[in-house]
Structures are given as C-alpha cells and as structure tokens.
Structure 1
Amino acid sequence: MKTQHTTTQWYSADRMHEMTKTWLSELHFIKDEQLFLEDLISDYSQKISNDDIYIKAQNAATALQRTKRGNHKLITDLTTHENQLSIMVDGIDQLDKEQQYKTNHVEFTKTISQFFYDYKAVKFEIFKLVKDLMKTDKQDPKL
C-alpha cells in the first residue's frame, strides 16, 4: 500500500503579498461584474413568460446573491489577511503566528480557487439564461 504524503507549499512574504493583491483585484472586478449581472437578470426577467424560465431566473438570481455575499466576505477576510502580513516581515521571531499566517494563506488559496470555480458556474448559467431569453425576444418581438 502506498502512502500519500501531502506537502504544503510555503510561499515567501513577497509572493503571499502579490497573491493577495491579485486575489483582491479579481474580487473587486467580480464585485462590479456582479452588479452588471444583476441588471442583466433584472432587465430580461420582465420578458419571462415561461414558468420554467422564471424558476431558472430566480435560481440564478439567488445564486448570484450568494456569490455576492461570498465575495464581500472574501474581500473583508483577505484585506485583514493582507494587513497581518507584517507578522512575516517585522524581523521579530513569532514562529507560532508566522506558521498560522502561512497556514491561513494556504487555506485562502483553496477557498479562492473554489469561489472562482463556483462564480464562473453561476455566471455561465446567467449568460445561458439571458441568451435563451434573447432568442425568445427575437422570435416574438412583442415581448
């Protein structure tokens, strides 16, 4: 039987700083994008006449709200994390705190990756919904 060894990647303070800045930038962009997607759903929801599509629109709107809350929490948590980076570079040996900071950073890596994956799935569903509504709109311009 083979034993799996999990290795934890430790990043330098500079690398962790750059990663956090990049994540925050992407999350702020997503925040703006979410406003656009809300408007898109709202604009096209008025044209829904099919119950099935209405349910899909409601589910998409609910999922988008969930990603908005998750995005806000991640921005808040990452900003705090970024502000605590001084633990790594202050020249004072605080091994427990430094170790915890690194562990937290690795957890953020996983959390951010999962959030981006989930958000892209929600965005895909919204675009698919709007595309279908646009097709319906073209077929019956009275809507």
Structure 2
Amino acid sequence: MKAKQPRVKYVEWHSPEELHEISLNWVSELKFIKDEQHFLDELIENHTLQLISKKTFEKSKNILQELSLSRKGIDPLLKKIINHHNELTILLDGVDQPIKEKQYKEDHWALTIEVSTYLNRYKEIKRKVFDLIKAIIKESKQKRLLR
C-alpha cells in the first residue's frame, strides 16, 4: 500500500507562536522516530535468520529497503524543519516584509505536506515491519509446539 498524499480543503494560517509549536512538534516526532528506528533495527537484528529464509526473503528485503530509505530521509527533513523554524524571526521582527513573509508561509505549507507524507509513509513501513516480525514469531512458536 502506498502512502497517500494528504488532501487539504482549506488553508488555515497560524500565528507565529502556533508555527513555533508546530515546528517543535515536528522536530520532536522525528527525533522519536529516529529512536524508534533503532528499536526496529534491534528487532530486525534479533530475527535476521528468519528474515533471510527462503519464505520471507523477498518480502523482508523490500520492507528493509523502504525502512532504509526512510532512515536516510529523516536527517535532511529534520535540518529543513530546524532551518525553517529559525527563519520564524521574519514574522516576529516587526519589519513589514510581505514578500519574505509570503515565502515563509508557502515554505511552511510545503513543509507541512512533506512532513505529513513522511509520517504517513513511515507509519506504513513500521506496520509492515511489525506484521512481518509477528508472522515470524508466530511461525517459530508453532514449530516449537510441534516438536
């Protein structure tokens, strides 16, 4: 299943304080995902032999490639958000700069879509990893019961 592009029916503009909070939430979520990816790596490492078995190799290879791409995309996205957050001063400096303010709003909107897309895609990949590991654990328990 492919991650869907979020559809938005209207654009709501936020105050600088709300934009600050939104940016901090994005950074927090992405840092949590980085920690979560370490957990997924350990989970995968613990089940490597089963993942490379003939039954699950192709499926696990595709899922692990998706996870790897997700891992590679998180740092550039974090940097983009932090830079965007640092540019918030454009709205707070008291100087009327309509072109820069408009550009900031457009950048924020584009970043909102990018972050939402990343989070949706990551959740889908995580679900696939958990489903795969769950199936492996279930199969291994069944084999132990049959012995």
Please state if 1:121 is matched with 2:133.
no
Distance 1:50 1:105, change over 3 A: same
Distance 1:46 1:18, change over 3 A: same
Deviation at 1:63, TM superposition (A): 0.7
Structural RMSD (CA): 1.5
Deviations 1:10-35 (Å, cap 9, x if unpaired)?
21111111100001100000000011
User: Which range moved further: 119-128 or 32-41?
Assistant: 32-41
CA distance in 2, matches of 1:123, 1:136: 20
Unaligned runs of 5+ in 2: 1-8
Q: Which amino acid aligns with 1:117?
A: N
Distance 1:47 1:112, change over 3 A: same
Indicate the residue corresponding to 2:86 in structure 1: 83
**Any residues of structure 2 matched to 1:44-123 within 5 Å, and which?**
44-48=47-51, 50-123=53-126
TM-score normalised to structure 2 length: 0.86
Taking every aligned residue pair, what percent have the same amino acid on both sides?
Answer: 35
CA distance in 1, matches of 2:90, 2:22: 17
Deviation at 1:102, TM superposition (A): 0.8
TM-score normalised to structure 1 length: 0.88
Indicate the residue corresponding to 2:3 in structure 1: none
Q: How many residues were matched structurally?
A: 136
Indicate the residue corresponding to 1:41 in structure 2: 44
Indicate the residue corresponding to 1:23 in structure 2: 26
CA distance in 1, matches of 2:45, 2:65: 12
Unaligned runs of 5+ in 1: 1-5
Deviations 1:40-86 (Å, cap 9, x if unpaired)?
11211223464241111111111111111121111110010011111
User: Which range moved further: 106-115 or 17-26?
Assistant: 106-115
